[in-house]
């Protein structure tokens, strides 16, 4: 059974995704620990099919910026609460308390303070970058109005020269905005995706083989799984870090692996990742075909900072 591709937003009107916040998330401990992905292979695509690097998308950047700042504020608020609780625990410790316990609490307190400071600096950096982006956007809009004015004027040599200069400036402003968009992508952090399995009840039978293909921007993740007895599943890959992309949707394709005939497409689904900028880990089920007989369980954790940071 195959389903045509369809796109939707998390929590959209069709309510295909069912998100449930979980208590744990990357950086949730006072030591701000991050999940560690297994050595799963990720494929990098070429730039073919992507938008031109010099075509700015200000409306999309505005949406992502709002979601990003909201997520960073949520993380900051949570860690501030953690710090307050650690401070109370330290104050309640008696002189007879174990030295090791006091040392651990003090270490957690220092680490949480450092992480909070890092989050604040990161928020300031994102806000400054977006402010510069808005300035470039307004300059570019002004140049567009000047271009219209020159185009509507008489076809004189001065008008043609002015129009030529304006076109050069417009390309420069577009390049500046595209550069700032790339810089913002570098400040978004990473998404940690965990494969929880397929859902299908009677549709999933022991011995069935499935292939899941996830694409996000120029990144790909392919994994294969087998349906075992007693509602168990085994997969050759369980988790992956994805670098966020401002202009890309997260797409999932599922196919049933056949021994003799080619793989049988089951369906596909695409959704916006701006809803992933939240402090708690999110788990959701997405229907991958029209009838909803096959779904995929995923767990998504947003890490505000990259692994190599």
Question: How far apart, in whole angstroms, are the C-alpha atoms of residue 108 and residue 88?
Answer: 13
CB 198 within 8 A of CB 233: yes
Tokens matching residue 120: 């604040």
What's the confidence (pLDDT) of residue 193? 94
CB 191 within 8 A of CB 273: yes
Q: What is the pTM of this model?
A: 0.76
Question: How far apart, in whole angstroms, are the C-alpha atoms of residue 280 and residue 71?
Answer: 10
- The pLDDT profile of the chain, 309 residues, written as one tens digit per residue, is 434 333 333 333 333 343 333 333 333 333 444 444 443 434 344 333 344 457 889 999 999 999 999 999 999 999 999 999 999 988 887 666 778 888 888 999 999 999 999 999 999 999 999 999 999 999 999 999 988 888 887 777 877 888 888 889 899 999 999 999 999 999 999 999 999 999 886 778 888 899 999 999 899 999 999 999 888 999 988 899 999 889 899 999 999 998 777 888 889 999 899 889 998 899 988 899 888 888 999 999 999 998 766
What's the confidence (pLDDT) of residue 52? 46
Question: For residue 234, how many other CB atoms are within 10 A of its CB?
Answer: 10
- Which residue bears the tokens 């008489």? 154
Side-chain half-sphere CA neighbours of 48 within 13 A: 2
Name beta bridge partners: 61.
Answer: none
What's the confidence (pLDDT) of residue 96? 63
10 Å CB burial of residue 163 (0-12, 13-18, 19+) is: middle
Question: For the residues of 147-200, what is the DSSP string, one character each?
Answer: HHHHHHS---HHHHHHHHHHHHHHHHHHHHHHHHHHHHHHTS-EEEEEEEEEE-
């Amino acid at each position: 059974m195959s389903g045509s591709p369809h796109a939707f937003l998390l929590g959209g009107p069709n309510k295909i995704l069912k998100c449930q916040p979980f208590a744990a998330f990357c950086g949730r401990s006072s030591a701000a620990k991050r999940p560690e992905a297994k050595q799963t292979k990720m494929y990098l695509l070429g730039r073919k099919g992507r938008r031109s690097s010099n075509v700015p998308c200000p409306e999309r950047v505005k949406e992502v910026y709002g979601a990003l700042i909201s997520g960073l504020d949520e993380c900051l608020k949570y860690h501030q609460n953690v710090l307050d609780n650690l401070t109370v625990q330290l104050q309640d410790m008696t002189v007879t308390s174990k030295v090791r316990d006091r040392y651990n609490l003090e270490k957690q307190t220092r680490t949480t303070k450092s992480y909070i400071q890092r989050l604040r600096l990161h928020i300031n950096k994102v806000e400054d970058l977006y402010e510069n982006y808005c300035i470039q956007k307004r300059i570019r809009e002004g140049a567009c109005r000047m271009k219209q004015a020159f185009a509507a004027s008489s076809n004189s040599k001065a008008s043609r020269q002015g129009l030529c200069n304006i076109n050069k400036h417009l390309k420069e402003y577009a390049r500046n905005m595209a550069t700032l968009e790339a810089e913002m992508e570098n400040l978004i952090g990473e998404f940690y995706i965990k494969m929880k399995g397929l859902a299908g009840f009677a549709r999933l039978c022991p011995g069935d083989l499935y292939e899941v293909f996830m694409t996000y921007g120029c990144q790909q993740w392919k994994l294969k799984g087998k349906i075992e007895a007693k509602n168990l599943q085994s997969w050759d890959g369980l988790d992956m870090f994805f670098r966020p992309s401002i202009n890309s949707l997260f797409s999932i394709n599922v196919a049933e692996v056949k021994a003799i005939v080619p793989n049988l497409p089951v369906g596909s689904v695409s959704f916006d990742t701006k809803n992933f900028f939240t402090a708690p880990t999110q788990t959701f089920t997405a229907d991958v075909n029209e009838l909803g007989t096959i779904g995929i369980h995923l767990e998504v954790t947003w890490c505000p900072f990259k692994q190599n940071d």
